[in-house]
Amino acid sequence: MLKTLLNSRKTQPDISQLTIQQSNSFGRQCIRLGFGLTFGCASLLISCADHNDVATPSATVALVNTSGASVGTAELTEDSKGMVTLKVSVKGLPAGIHGIHFHEVGVADPKSSPAFSSSGEHYNPASRKHGLENPDGTHAGDLPNLIVDSQGTGSLETTTNRITLSDGPTTLFDGNGSSLIIHASVDDQKTDPSGNSGGRIAGGVIVRK
Protein backbone atom coordinates (compact mmCIF):
# COMPACT_ATOMS: atom_id res chain seq x y z
CA MET A 1 0.00 0.00 0.00
CA LEU A 2 2.77 2.42 0.95
CA LYS A 3 4.65 1.56 -2.25
CA THR A 4 1.54 2.19 -4.35
CA LEU A 5 0.98 5.56 -2.68
CA LEU A 6 4.58 6.60 -3.32
CA ASN A 7 4.32 5.58 -6.97
CA SER A 8 1.10 7.58 -7.42
CA ARG A 9 2.81 10.66 -6.02
CA LYS A 10 5.65 10.28 -8.52
CA THR A 11 3.23 10.16 -11.44
CA GLN A 12 1.27 13.25 -10.40
CA PRO A 13 2.32 16.42 -12.32
CA ASP A 14 4.24 19.11 -10.48
CA ILE A 15 1.73 21.97 -10.24
CA SER A 16 4.46 24.57 -9.79
CA GLN A 17 6.24 23.41 -12.96
CA LEU A 18 2.99 23.45 -14.92
CA THR A 19 2.31 26.97 -13.71
CA ILE A 20 5.78 28.11 -14.76
CA GLN A 21 5.47 26.43 -18.17
CA GLN A 22 2.03 27.92 -18.76
CA SER A 23 3.30 31.32 -17.66
CA ASN A 24 6.27 31.10 -20.02
CA SER A 25 4.02 29.99 -22.87
CA PHE A 26 1.61 32.86 -22.21
CA GLY A 27 4.54 35.25 -22.07
CA ARG A 28 5.80 34.06 -25.44
CA GLN A 29 2.31 34.48 -26.90
CA CYS A 30 2.11 37.99 -25.46
CA ILE A 31 5.53 38.82 -26.93
CA ARG A 32 4.47 37.47 -30.32
CA LEU A 33 1.19 39.40 -30.13
CA GLY A 34 2.92 42.57 -29.04
CA PHE A 35 5.49 42.25 -31.83
CA GLY A 36 2.71 41.68 -34.33
CA LEU A 37 0.80 44.73 -33.17
CA THR A 38 3.94 46.86 -33.14
CA PHE A 39 4.92 45.69 -36.63
CA GLY A 40 1.38 46.28 -37.89
CA CYS A 41 1.26 49.79 -36.45
CA ALA A 42 4.69 50.56 -37.88
CA SER A 43 3.58 49.33 -41.30
CA LEU A 44 0.46 51.49 -41.07
CA LEU A 45 2.50 54.54 -40.13
CA ILE A 46 4.92 53.92 -42.99
CA SER A 47 2.00 53.50 -45.38
CA CYS A 48 0.46 56.76 -44.19
CA ALA A 49 3.79 58.53 -44.49
CA ASP A 50 4.26 57.23 -48.03
CA HIS A 51 0.76 58.44 -48.91
CA ASN A 52 1.41 61.88 -47.47
CA ASP A 53 4.73 62.11 -49.31
CA VAL A 54 3.01 61.88 -52.71
CA ALA A 55 3.60 65.28 -54.25
CA THR A 56 0.78 67.21 -55.87
CA PRO A 57 1.83 68.14 -59.44
CA SER A 58 2.09 71.90 -59.74
CA ALA A 59 3.55 74.58 -61.99
CA THR A 60 4.03 78.31 -62.19
CA VAL A 61 4.18 80.98 -64.90
CA ALA A 62 5.91 84.37 -64.78
CA LEU A 63 3.96 86.57 -67.18
CA VAL A 64 5.62 89.43 -69.06
CA ASN A 65 4.33 91.92 -71.63
CA THR A 66 5.78 92.67 -75.08
CA SER A 67 8.44 94.88 -73.45
CA GLY A 68 9.52 92.07 -71.17
CA ALA A 69 8.14 93.74 -68.04
CA SER A 70 6.40 91.62 -65.41
CA VAL A 71 2.61 91.80 -65.56
CA GLY A 72 1.59 88.92 -63.30
CA THR A 73 1.79 85.27 -62.47
CA ALA A 74 -0.15 82.06 -62.89
CA GLU A 75 -0.29 78.96 -60.73
CA LEU A 76 -1.38 75.48 -61.78
CA THR A 77 -2.15 72.48 -59.56
CA GLU A 78 -3.41 69.01 -60.39
CA ASP A 79 -5.55 67.04 -57.94
CA SER A 80 -5.77 63.27 -57.40
CA LYS A 81 -8.54 62.99 -60.01
CA GLY A 82 -6.47 64.63 -62.74
CA MET A 83 -8.27 67.98 -62.63
CA VAL A 84 -5.98 70.97 -63.17
CA THR A 85 -6.80 74.32 -61.57
CA LEU A 86 -5.36 77.47 -63.13
CA LYS A 87 -5.16 80.73 -61.15
CA VAL A 88 -4.06 83.83 -63.06
CA SER A 89 -3.37 87.25 -61.56
CA VAL A 90 -2.32 90.20 -63.75
CA LYS A 91 -1.62 93.90 -63.32
CA GLY A 92 -0.71 96.49 -65.93
CA LEU A 93 -2.61 95.07 -68.90
CA PRO A 94 -5.08 97.00 -71.10
CA ALA A 95 -8.61 97.04 -69.74
CA GLY A 96 -11.03 94.71 -71.45
CA ILE A 97 -11.72 91.05 -72.12
CA HIS A 98 -8.77 89.02 -73.31
CA GLY A 99 -8.39 85.58 -74.77
CA ILE A 100 -5.97 83.35 -72.87
CA HIS A 101 -4.71 79.93 -73.87
CA PHE A 102 -2.14 77.24 -73.26
CA HIS A 103 0.24 77.16 -76.23
CA GLU A 104 2.18 74.23 -77.62
CA VAL A 105 5.81 75.35 -77.15
CA GLY A 106 7.58 76.22 -73.92
CA VAL A 107 9.20 79.37 -75.30
CA ALA A 108 7.55 82.75 -74.67
CA ASP A 109 9.86 85.32 -76.20
CA PRO A 110 8.41 88.85 -76.31
CA LYS A 111 11.09 89.80 -78.85
CA SER A 112 10.05 87.17 -81.37
CA SER A 113 8.24 88.56 -84.40
CA PRO A 114 5.38 88.89 -83.89
CA ALA A 115 5.65 88.97 -80.10
CA PHE A 116 5.33 85.57 -78.41
CA SER A 117 5.01 83.76 -81.74
CA SER A 118 7.77 81.52 -80.39
CA SER A 119 5.11 79.74 -78.31
CA GLY A 120 3.51 78.19 -81.40
CA GLU A 121 -0.21 77.58 -81.71
CA HIS A 122 -2.78 76.52 -79.11
CA TYR A 123 -1.99 73.29 -77.30
CA ASN A 124 -4.10 70.82 -79.27
CA PRO A 125 -2.81 67.22 -79.08
CA ALA A 126 -6.18 65.78 -80.16
CA SER A 127 -6.36 67.99 -83.29
CA ARG A 128 -9.75 69.46 -82.38
CA LYS A 129 -11.30 72.76 -83.47
CA HIS A 130 -11.01 75.92 -81.39
CA GLY A 131 -13.50 77.23 -78.87
CA LEU A 132 -15.29 76.23 -75.71
CA GLU A 133 -18.56 76.73 -77.61
CA ASN A 134 -17.45 75.01 -80.81
CA PRO A 135 -19.33 71.72 -81.41
CA ASP A 136 -16.19 70.35 -83.07
CA GLY A 137 -13.93 71.62 -80.27
CA THR A 138 -12.23 72.18 -78.10
CA HIS A 139 -8.46 72.64 -78.08
CA ALA A 140 -6.90 71.23 -74.92
CA GLY A 141 -5.42 74.70 -74.44
CA ASP A 142 -8.70 76.62 -74.68
CA LEU A 143 -9.69 78.63 -71.58
CA PRO A 144 -12.36 81.13 -70.50
CA ASN A 145 -11.58 84.79 -71.18
CA LEU A 146 -9.57 86.93 -68.77
CA ILE A 147 -11.30 90.15 -67.66
CA VAL A 148 -9.08 93.14 -66.87
CA ASP A 149 -10.60 96.16 -65.11
CA SER A 150 -10.00 99.86 -65.70
CA GLN A 151 -7.03 99.76 -63.32
CA GLY A 152 -5.33 97.14 -65.46
CA THR A 153 -5.89 94.41 -62.89
CA GLY A 154 -7.49 91.07 -63.60
CA SER A 155 -7.75 87.51 -62.38
CA LEU A 156 -9.02 84.19 -63.60
CA GLU A 157 -9.57 80.88 -61.86
CA THR A 158 -10.72 77.87 -63.85
CA THR A 159 -10.48 74.08 -63.74
CA THR A 160 -9.98 71.74 -66.69
CA ASN A 161 -9.48 68.04 -67.36
CA ARG A 162 -8.26 68.58 -70.92
CA ILE A 163 -4.63 68.90 -69.84
CA THR A 164 -2.46 67.40 -67.10
CA LEU A 165 0.72 68.33 -65.28
CA SER A 166 1.57 64.69 -64.62
CA ASP A 167 2.80 62.40 -67.38
CA GLY A 168 0.29 61.37 -70.01
CA PRO A 169 -0.98 62.04 -73.53
CA THR A 170 -2.23 65.54 -72.67
CA THR A 171 0.54 66.70 -70.34
CA LEU A 172 1.77 70.26 -70.69
CA PHE A 173 5.25 68.91 -70.03
CA ASP A 174 5.71 67.04 -73.29
CA GLY A 175 8.93 67.11 -75.31
CA ASN A 176 8.90 70.85 -76.02
CA GLY A 177 6.94 72.16 -73.02
CA SER A 178 4.09 74.69 -73.07
CA SER A 179 3.36 78.38 -72.52
CA LEU A 180 0.48 80.52 -71.30
CA ILE A 181 -0.39 83.37 -73.66
CA ILE A 182 -2.75 86.36 -73.22
CA HIS A 183 -4.24 87.96 -76.34
CA ALA A 184 -5.25 91.53 -77.14
CA SER A 185 -8.94 90.88 -77.73
CA VAL A 186 -11.83 88.75 -76.54
CA ASP A 187 -11.93 85.11 -77.63
CA ASP A 188 -15.31 84.43 -79.26
CA GLN A 189 -14.90 80.73 -78.31
CA LYS A 190 -16.08 79.59 -81.74
CA THR A 191 -13.85 80.77 -84.56
CA ASP A 192 -10.98 78.50 -85.55
CA PRO A 193 -8.06 78.67 -84.94
CA SER A 194 -7.92 81.27 -82.14
CA GLY A 195 -11.34 82.85 -81.65
CA ASN A 196 -10.42 86.15 -83.34
CA SER A 197 -8.58 87.06 -80.15
CA GLY A 198 -5.97 89.24 -81.84
CA GLY A 199 -2.28 89.62 -81.19
CA ARG A 200 -0.35 88.32 -78.22
CA ILE A 201 0.24 90.91 -75.51
CA ALA A 202 1.65 88.83 -72.64
CA GLY A 203 2.90 85.37 -71.90
CA GLY A 204 5.22 83.08 -70.02
CA VAL A 205 6.64 79.58 -69.95
CA ILE A 206 4.89 76.99 -67.79
CA VAL A 207 7.53 75.75 -65.34
CA ARG A 208 7.16 72.64 -63.20
CA LYS A 209 7.59 73.25 -59.47
Assess whether 77 and 35 both reside in one domain.
no
* Cα R_g (the chain), whole angstroms: 34
Tell me the pLDDT tens digit for each residue of 147-187.
Answer: 999 999 999 999 999 999 999 999 999 999 999 999 999 99
Residues 79 and 118 in one domain: yes
Please say which residue of 15, 36, 52 terminates a domain: 52
pLDDT tens digits, 39-72: 444 444 444 444 445 678 999 999 999 999 999 9
Same domain as 87, residue 14 = no
In terms of domains, do 93 and 165 share one? yes
Is there a single domain that holds both residue 62 and residue 26? Answer: no
Whether residues 83 and 32 share a domain: the answer is: no
Domain boundary among 52, 71, 93: 52
In this predicted model, which residue has the larger pLDDT, 128 or 2? 128
Same domain, 11 and 101: no
Q: Which domain holds residue 184?
A: 58-208
Mean pLDDT of the chain: 84
C-beta separation of 63 from 78 below 8 A: no
pLDDT in tens, 129-153: 999 999 988 999 999 999 999 999 9
Q: Are residues 39 and 63 in the same domain?
A: no
Do 122 and 202 fall into the same domain? yes
The pLDDT of residue 54 is: 61
Q: Are residues 37 and 69 in the same domain?
A: no
Does the pLDDT value for residue 74 go beyond 90?
A: yes
CATH label of the domain that carries residue 100: 2.60.40.200
Distance from chain centroid for Cα 97: 28
DSSP strands (E only) in the chain: 58-65, 70-78, 84-91, 96-98, 100-103, 146-148, 153-160, 179-183, 200-208
Whether residue 41 is found in the same domain as residue 73: no
pLDDT tier for residue 95 given thresholds of 50, 70 and 90: very high
Are 80 and 125 found together in one domain?
Answer: yes
Number of domains in the chain: 2
Query: Length of the chain, please?
Result: 209
Residues 6+ apart with CB under 8 A from 117: 200
